[in-house]
Amino acid sequence: MTAAEDMELRWRLDDLLAAVQPPVVPLEQIMRRGNGIRLRRAGAAAVGVGLAGIIAVTTLALHAGRSAAAPATALSGPAVPGGVIASGTADRHAWRLAVQDIADPGYRCLPAITLNGTDANPVYPDPGYASTVTLGAVVSGTGFAFIQLPASISGITINGRRYVPAVIAAACGYRYHVAGFAYSLAQALRVTVANPPPGWAVVFPIVQPSPQTDGLWINTYAVRGEAASGLLASGYLSGQEWSIQVEFGTGGDCYAFNGNGYQMGSCVPVSTPDGPETIAALPLGFPDPGTGAVGYAVPVSPGTAQLAAILSNGSSELATPRVVDGRKYVAFIVPDPLRLSRLTWLDAAGRVMASTTALPQYGYVQFQP
């Protein structure tokens, strides 16, 4: 290569890559993924392999990595009714932030802060943390947030104009001192605290969500919250091992789709027993042509006994839920070239509870059974 060609290549690469303007570094997501890697490593040491079959569901015991329970906070005063932190109307949609139990009936109480009774963030009472979420086109132009505050701070001010008082909301024996609000995405969000106690800032740090994280709570720093992981399904396809794992926590329902040593990961909104179910799909990576597959994971409503997967060739398979931390999930794979045509929810008597054909090949959709 001549010196001129050398220079030209350098200049063109500089120009090409300088045109890439990265967004703000998603620190919270990065740390969440890092924590997920830690969990996977811990889980990999404890979890074995499962059954064979085109669509298989494991019967292995789950490995749950529950975090230590948070201590009760010393807050005095009555809690707000129904756990409702804040409510209102945005973009002609009613919204409500509340603390509630998101475990299925019969399982240990699992507190979380939810938006509209779904899209849960399983945080513990932990003053100093802010969380934000957007709902994309569902409620465009509006973000939702809550900030956990120490007992000595009675409220916050939004963008220098609006004062939001903190309330005490309770669920599962936990008491949260929290201020919740909706805000416009059209301008930068600035949250200030009047007369902060020692060690606190006047301007509260907020990590803004991005369109890529609609429905996922974005927490400022690694907030303490419920965390658990479990193997949902595994098996062999064309002699190659696959598995689907979930890591449930403040980052969402994060699935790891593993195929022959390769891994795809995705976090989706945490659904609640009464809320819409989030159907996630990702391809599993198999290295040989013709051995691909799409993995599916679905947290299902408490009454679901089985999920029937109808495939593009007319065949059907039944998958049985596994419970991880009081929440039921179903996971399975659909090998190429087949496609998933329909999912049907069945109760214990085999009756159809719900059915949908709006199914993703990649990413997630939400469906209200």
- Residues within the interface to another protein (CB under 8 A): 1-2, 4-6, 8-10, 12-23, 25-27, 29-31, 33-34, 36-38, 127-129, 195-205, 220-222, 262, 264, 283, 285-289, 291-292
* 22 versus 314: smaller Cβ distance to another protein: 22
Closest CA to 208 of 47, 27, 347: 27
Q: Considering the complex, what minimum distance in angstroms separates the CB of residue 362 from another protein? A: 9
CB 358 to another protein: min, Å: 22
Instruction: Tell me whether residue 27 or residue 61 sits nearer to another protein (CB atom).
Output: 27
Cis status of the peptide bond prior to 337, with omega within 30 of 0: yes
Measured from the CB atom, is 82 or 205 closer to another protein? Answer: 205
Nearer to another protein, 136 or 287 (CB): 287
Encoded tokens for 252: 């969402």
- Minimum gap (Å) between residue 91 Cβ and another protein: 27
Which lies closer to another protein via its Cβ, residue 7 or residue 94? 7
> Nearest approach, Cβ of 294 to another protein (angstroms)?
9
d(CA 363, CA 50): 25
Provide the minimum distance between the beta carbon of 17 and another protein in the complex, in angstroms, as a whole number.
4
Look at the chain and count its residues: 369
Cα separation, 304 vs 300, whole angstroms: 6
349 contact partners, CB below 8 Å, separation of at least 6: none
**91/288 with CB nearer another protein:** 288
Report the distance separating Cα 368 and Cα 71, nearest Å: 35
Cα–Cα nearest to 149, from 176, 112, 122:
176
CB 105 within 8 A of CB 198: no
CB of 239 to another protein, least distance (A): 15
